Structure 1
Amino acid sequence: MFAIVRTGGKQYRVAAGDIIAVEKLAGEAGDSVTLDDVLLAGDGGDIKDVKGLTVAAEILAQEKGEKVIIFKKRRRHNYRRKNGHRQQHTVLKISAIGSEKAPAKAAPKKEASSTEEKPAAKAK
């Protein structure tokens, strides 16, 4: 199942288990947030009713984005201004859309190394 949510003036298509970076939200790493502004929800090609639907997410980190350089110049007037900006972002992991939760990942299986035989040392 997927949903299109609006937060920070932007729209994001999310599914359970996705990790997205959105405009800064209040909270610390480990806190859970609820995104109430769901615009569309669906499962494959079917559209679902979004009335009362919420998206639950967990805050993974509060980060800064890439640096953007602002350079202003007016030619022949000896006017140059250089400025920079780094936007604040919140990294979210979508845990559930409505009542549908993200599938739990199984731990990777360890392969036994005893099945491989080591070559015998040559005698002189």
Structure 2
Amino acid sequence: MFAVLKTGGKQYRVQAGDVLRVEKLNAEAGDKVQFNEVLMIGSTIGAPLVAGAGVQAEVIDNIKADKVITYVKRRRKHSSQRTRGHRQQLTLVRVTELLEKGADKSDVKAAVGARTKVEAAAAKPAKAKKAKAEAAAADAN
């Protein structure tokens, strides 16, 4: 039996025992996580998700992908160059179990993507601004 799950903006076809490289999850090596966004499991197709289905996996390690180097060179009257490198952070997981039903009642924590420090810092001021705006609206009434 196989399942199709969605995580990190991508879809993966998995079976028990498969090892996946997914976008970084908020979990340490050895943790058990559960993917709840299951699009298809066995012969059951979701609309868009299969209710009560889940895929349980064990985190092997947090790794980085190979470096991708981008090089931009402008010509003509501008003699500028730019070289940038990037290594995407990934999580290695081993699929342990496919659950067609009862995944919502299991005690395994959900697989949630890890936010970077920059994203977390950018989100905090937005919440503060929203709370300030709500307080001002309440005072106006």
TM-score bucket of the superposed structures, by smaller chain: 0.7 to 0.9
Cα deviation 1:6-38 (Å, max 9, x = unaligned): 000000000011001000001110001110000
Aligned residues: 95
* C-alpha distance in 1 between matches for 2:39 and 2:44: 11
* Structure in which a larger fraction of residues adopt helix: 2
Give the equivalent residue in structure 1 for 2:114.
none
Identity of aligned residues (%): 49
Greater C-alpha Rg: 1
* C-alpha distance in 2 between matches for 1:23 and 1:9: 9
Alignment of structure 1 residues 31-110 onto 2, 5 Å: 31-42=31-42, 47-48=43-44, 50-76=50-76, 77-98=78-99
Residue ranges of structure 1 left out of the alignment (5+ in a row) = 100-124
TM-score, length basis structure 2: 0.65
Runs (4+) of structure 1 moved beyond 3 Å? none
* Structure in which a larger fraction of residues adopt strand: 1
Residue ranges of structure 2 left out of the alignment (5+ in a row) = 101-141
* C-alpha distance in 1 between matches for 2:88 and 2:70: 13
**Root mean square deviation, CA, Å:** 1.1
